[in-house]
Structure 1
Amino acid sequence: MFVFTISTLSLMYIIRRQWIEREHLPFPTVTLPLEVARQDAPILRDRFFWIGTILTFAIIWWNSMAMNYPAMPKIWTRTIDLSPNFTTSPWSAMNPVGVTFFPFVIGIGYLLSTEVVFSCWFFYIVHKLAAVWGAATGWSAGTVGGQSTFPWLSFQAAGAFLGLAGVSLWVSRQHLRDVWRAAFGGNPDKDADAGGYRLACIALAFSILFMIGFTVVAGASVLVATVWVIVMLLSLLAATRIRAETGNAWPVGPQVDGLQLLVSFGGSGAFRASDLTALTYVRAATAQQDFRSVCMSHQLDGFKFGDAVGIKPGKMAGAMIVAVGFGLVVSFVIALFVWTKYGALAKAEPWRSLMGRNSFTKLSAWLTVPTAPDRGGMTGVALGIAFTIFLSWMRVRYVWWPLHPAGYCMSTTSMAGSAWMPFFIAWLAKVCIIRGGGMKLYKRLLPLFLGFIAGDFLGGATATLAACFFGNLTVYPANW
């Protein structure tokens, strides 16, 4: 796990200048901490900020009290399931459908460009309508004979992530050449980061070789291990880019991760049992089921924060390495203590254990009944790659183009269902505010939406802390 984290940190060290200084990605998740960290913190004296903070904080605590006193009505911001309203074909094909009103997601959406936030909810609606159209025309009938059917959304997601990673690397090609020259070419431009680049390149190469070697020792072939590591890192790179552009509150990856993508491409029968077993173990160790557990996006946020406040990237990287080492030890000790004392599935939160079991449930199915290549799934992957490249090309060629590839990629993930309505609200508010009062009014109301973010997290944090001291207190879920 530590070597895996070093690989992501090295990759972010190499790419950070391109994304932070040259492309100027927005990094909405860093905006609030930077505002609070500014000298004298003027945002803390802004009444709109405190209106947003107190309002959201009050909603969280009101809902926590309502969960303990049922007579109190709830101001529910979590998922409201609309699926019971769509029970007949073809409309049932769009299920599950839900709406949420997370204040902090509305706040993040206000920070995004109108193209990005529009694309996030627009493509979610398009995917749902595509499923309805597929059911109406007979194209969608579930998985038939091991073949995925239209619109292949989970496979579109895998292709979209790979396409976005490829486009990002292509756009960064000049920067990557500069990094190589600075690190190993005699440093002709006297780049101050030459030493850091050299160390990052070497660390990235060794960590990749280590992960490949570890997977081979675990039982996979060299080819399978190499392809898997490359696909894994590309998917993580795309997820980090999406996080930097959309502020995705849940930086998850595609449901079809690297292992399932390989199996869908060749069929499980094309792999040895040792290949699949080894990849199942390393898949869990690198959190491929849920990118929220991966450090890469947070490492890039750290570099952005350091760049804004004048912390040298080398010092920031060193601090993150120490933090990761400390966190690994402490988290292992705490997890083992809680699970052995209370039971991983009994009194403790069972989600983590169930997610671990899912990997081996899939492995058992692949080994018991070998599958053929999924041609339908590969069609979805190709569609995702092609459409992402098309959107990227249109963005570069036409300034007026309203659709953004990062928004499309985010809309294909499982978390789009939780974010599409808050993003729609943020988009509508932003458009109305800018058209009604221009950028002056937009900037004046910015603290209000930052307050939505602050209040949501402060409310969840304080309610959770209170529950630690009052064991019988049920709190409004803080995991959003």
Structure 2
Amino acid sequence: MSAHQHDHETIRLRALILGIVLATAMCALTPYNNAYKQATPLGGGHFPLAPFFILVWLTVLTALAGRVFKRALFTGKELVIVWMLMFLVSGIAYTGLVRTFFINLTAPYHFATVGNAWKEVLHPILPRAWYPNDAEAVERLYNGLPDGRRMGWWTLVTHIPWRAWIGPLMVWGGFILLCYGVMICLVNLFSRQWIYNERMNFPLLRVPQLLADALDQGRTGAFFGNRFLAAGLFVPIFLHTVNGLNFYFPEVPQIPTLILAGPYFPQYGLFSGFHKLKIYIYPAFIGFAFLTTRQISFSFWFFFIAGGLIMGLLAVLGYNIPDAALGVTFGPTLTRPEETQMIGAYGVFFLFILWLSRYHLREIFQTAVGRRPAPTPVTEWFSIRTAFWGSVAGISGIILWCWIFRMPFMVSVLVVGAFFMVMLVASRVICQGGIAYFTLTVAPIDGLLALFGPKFFTQVGLLGSAVMQKVLFVDLRESLMPSLVHSSSLTQRTTNRRTIFLAMLITLLLAVTVSFVAMLALCYKFGARELQMDWTVQTTTTVYANVQRLIEAPPQNTDWVRLFAAAGAVVMLVLVLCYHRFPWWPIHPIGYLTTYSSAMRILWVSFFIGWLANSLCMRYGGVALFKQLRYFFIGLIIGDFLMGGTWAVIGLFGDASYQVLPD
């Protein structure tokens, strides 16, 4: 098959059906695997484990079947689309949606006590349609149904108190589908700009695409037999075989993959920001870093180091800013006032994205109002006009949804705008930076609180914003929008994009439905208390506790937060100007956005090693050496995920599971 034919391939129905079936099955199994078995997460991050594990084996089996039967059941491109449908929805079944969803909808009632006074402060302003009104249904969610453990799964599903849940699920289902619809429309609008105009790199797609090329060109055996790839495979296979055996049999020696470097730095002084430093070794992320452009991989670890030095420098200069100056915030990892630089940085980078897209956005508007014909060739899932007015209608629908539940109109507009602004920026960071594991530092409404204060929100607006944010817009480790951007790139060179898009919609609807049912069934069978969902409960109850604190005693002084937010805006403005004006500028602005992310605390060493290897390779060996050496780092990625999948399968049959990748 020629390169041109391969790039413009028709994806057959059999591949789409296989992808839908596998994606739905994964959503059904994920809550049981992750929450009950506590095994290796099947999803996790933006390069999820199970879909890639399945892709590798499907590629091998398809190649073997092709040799035996002289006819391939699937092409490489079709298997990549199967993989796409799986990773698209893998997060919905856990951290991307249902991990905290039902706890979020029951926490203010189930965890209300005399001590926290939620009954007096929060209950009068809770929108009743958001929450189940049956106290017994809520209690059994945490304790399980009587004889639930003895019931078969189908019998259990029929015994779930659906009457209590059908109302909240319909209300929140409308909100979720509106948000997903807006994300789809925004990706459809920006895809041409990012993929063609800016030629954005997608490091996380490189390995699956190389697997597809190898299969279509009949050289799958040569691909896996490459000596550099074999060397790369050996490293994680040996590492995780030894450490996996150590996990189950402690007498087997362990190879350390976590180094506590903090004790080597002083607690006070210039380097005090590193006194809790940890060094994690993840071969797969070293591989991703090598495949990422050097400018970006350098920026990630550079800004992580710079962020630690800034904290120490402020202490040396006598600015001992108390943590209390941070006030009440909702950021998942926000612990220091200095970290609120990201409020301004995200805002300026969002404006930079719009400025880069200014001509494209003008064309979109002119096309939407009928002043110019649609661009050709067509590269979007559906028409520009439909995407534009669909995004307008979707955002208006979400604002109307908020207004129906008594949130002030301007608060709704600003909150919804902040949600999608952060999602757009985070999607750019993940897809362009090749960050398979990404977390926000500050939450979307933290910036609005810093600018306007809690009184602007009103009590209902503050509560509603915090709850909506917790549902979809704060923990972005498995968020949908970056997966949609990746999907848009993968479907660009197919002849039946709209058929594939229809399969994506079917997969999304099935994934949401199946994930809700699977998590409810799991909770009512075993009880949420028995699922060891400590992180879920803690982060959810913290949201309601923070809302109560803001209602009862709103902080008066946010000067430090505003100062650092302004500083972040200035730094980002300088970065984007230098990046855009000077071709020699070595730093990419998106590195600054991850400075204080908990993801970078785990991955900074991986990006440093990947950047260093890439730089040395290009300096002393050039492109020829890079093309050879990249197979070693591809081997690191494939080997890490193969071992992760292998131990995940073993974990299904045991009481514990060895973790290969970060959770």
2:634 to 450, 458, 472: 450
State whether residues 119 and 404 of structure 1, in contact with CA within 8 Å, keep that contact through their aligned partners in structure 2. yes
Q: Deviations over 1:186-209 (max 9, x none)?
A: 543653548521121122111111
Sort the Cα spacing of 1:347 and 1:387 in 2 relative to 1 into closer, same or farther, 3 A: same
Tell me which structure has the larger Cα radius of gyration.
2
Sort the Cα spacing of 1:24 and 1:6 in 2 relative to 1 into closer, same or farther, 3 A: same
How far apart are the structure 2 equivalents of 1:181 and 1:169?
16
Sort the Cα spacing of 1:181 and 1:271 in 2 relative to 1 into closer, same or farther, 3 A: closer
Return the letter of the residue paired with 1:96. Answer: K
How is 1:40-439 mapped onto 2 (pairs within 5 angstroms)? 40=218, 41=220, 43-77=223-257, 79-86=258-265, 88-90=267-269, 91-144=271-324, 152-188=337-373, 191-193=376-378, 196-253=383-440, 255-286=441-472, 288-307=473-492, 309-372=493-556, 374-439=558-623
1:311 is displaced (CA, Å) by 5.0
Sort the Cα spacing of 1:370 and 1:172 in 2 relative to 1 into closer, same or farther, 3 A: same
1:75 is displaced (CA, Å) by 2.2
Return the letter of the residue paired with 1:131. Answer: M
Q: Which moved more, 1:367-376 or 1:393-402?
A: 367-376
Return the letter of the residue paired with 1:59. Answer: L
How far apart are the structure 1 equivalents of 2:268 and 2:482?
40
1:420 is displaced (CA, Å) by 0.8
Sort the Cα spacing of 1:381 and 1:457 in 2 relative to 1 into closer, same or farther, 3 A: same
The aligned counterpart of 1:468 is 652
1:5 is displaced (CA, Å) by 1.1
1:300 is displaced (CA, Å) by 0.4
State whether residues 178 and 394 of structure 2, in contact with CA within 8 Å, keep that contact through their aligned partners in structure 1. yes
3-state DSSP of counterpart to 2:657: coil
Q: Which moved more, 1:44-53 or 1:117-126?
A: 44-53
1:336 is displaced (CA, Å) by 1.5
Which structure ranks higher in relative contact order (CA pairs < 8 Å, sequence separation ≥ 6)? 1
In structure 2, runs of 5+ residues without a counterpart are 1-175, 329-333
Q: Deviations over 1:12-42 (max 9, x none)?
A: 1100011111111111011111111112356
How far apart are the structure 2 equivalents of 1:430 and 1:360?
46
Sort the Cα spacing of 1:113 and 1:478 in 2 relative to 1 into closer, same or farther, 3 A: closer
Sort the Cα spacing of 1:100 and 1:57 in 2 relative to 1 into closer, same or farther, 3 A: same
How far apart are the structure 2 equivalents of 1:146 and 1:213?
32
In structure 1, runs of 5+ residues without a counterpart are none
Q: Deviations over 1:200-247 (max 9, x none)?
A: 112211111111112222332110110011111111111111112211
1:23 to 192, 198, 219: 198
Q: Which moved more, 1:456-465 or 1:313-322?
A: 313-322
3-state DSSP of counterpart to 2:276: coil
How far apart are the structure 1 equivalents of 2:196 and 2:375?
18
How far apart are the structure 1 equivalents of 2:241 and 2:523?
29
State whether residues 226 and 631 of structure 2, in contact with CA within 8 Å, keep that contact through their aligned partners in structure 1. yes
How far apart are the structure 2 equivalents of 1:435 and 1:225?
52
Q: Deviations over 1:45-83 (max 9, x none)?
A: 423223212421332232221111112222233x43333
1:338 is displaced (CA, Å) by 2.0
1:386 is displaced (CA, Å) by 2.3
How far apart are the structure 2 equivalents of 1:447 and 1:295?
29
State whether residues 139 and 150 of structure 1, in contact with CA within 8 Å, keep that contact through their aligned partners in structure 2. no
Return the letter of the residue paired with 1:213. Answer: L
State whether residues 131 and 150 of structure 1, in contact with CA within 8 Å, keep that contact through their aligned partners in structure 2. no
Sort the Cα spacing of 1:183 and 1:45 in 2 relative to 1 into closer, same or farther, 3 A: farther
Sort the Cα spacing of 1:311 and 1:323 in 2 relative to 1 into closer, same or farther, 3 A: farther
Q: CA RMSD in A?
A: 2.3
How far apart are the structure 2 equivalents of 1:243 and 1:24?
15
> Percent of aligned positions with the same letter in both sequences?
24
Q: Which moved more, 1:179-188 or 1:444-453?
A: 179-188
How far apart are the structure 2 equivalents of 1:43 and 1:392?
40
Q: Deviations over 1:242-282 (max 9, x none)?
A: 112211122322x2212222222222244321111111221
Q: Which moved more, 1:131-140 or 1:181-190?
A: 181-190
Return the letter of the residue paired with 1:292. Answer: R
State whether residues 344 and 565 of structure 2, in contact with CA within 8 Å, keep that contact through their aligned partners in structure 1. yes
How far apart are the structure 2 equivalents of 1:436 and 1:53?
24
- Does the alignment pair 1:14 with 2:189? yes
Q: Which moved more, 1:36-45 or 1:420-429?
A: 36-45
Q: Deviations over 1:281-337 (max 9, x none)?
A: 211122x22112321000000111112x42554344333222211111111111112
How far apart are the structure 2 equivalents of 1:327 and 1:281?
22
Sort the Cα spacing of 1:208 and 1:95 in 2 relative to 1 into closer, same or farther, 3 A: farther
Return the letter of the residue paired with 1:275. Answer: G
State whether residues 115 and 402 of structure 1, in contact with CA within 8 Å, keep that contact through their aligned partners in structure 2. yes
1:418 is displaced (CA, Å) by 0.8
Return the letter of the residue paired with 1:103. Answer: P
Please report the TM-score for the alignment, with normalisation by the length of structure 1: 0.92
3-state DSSP of counterpart to 1:80: strand
3-state DSSP of counterpart to 2:307: helix
3-state DSSP of counterpart to 1:293: coil
How far apart are the structure 1 equivalents of 2:495 and 2:595?
34
How far apart are the structure 2 equivalents of 1:463 and 1:43?
24
How far apart are the structure 1 equivalents of 2:486 and 2:300?
21
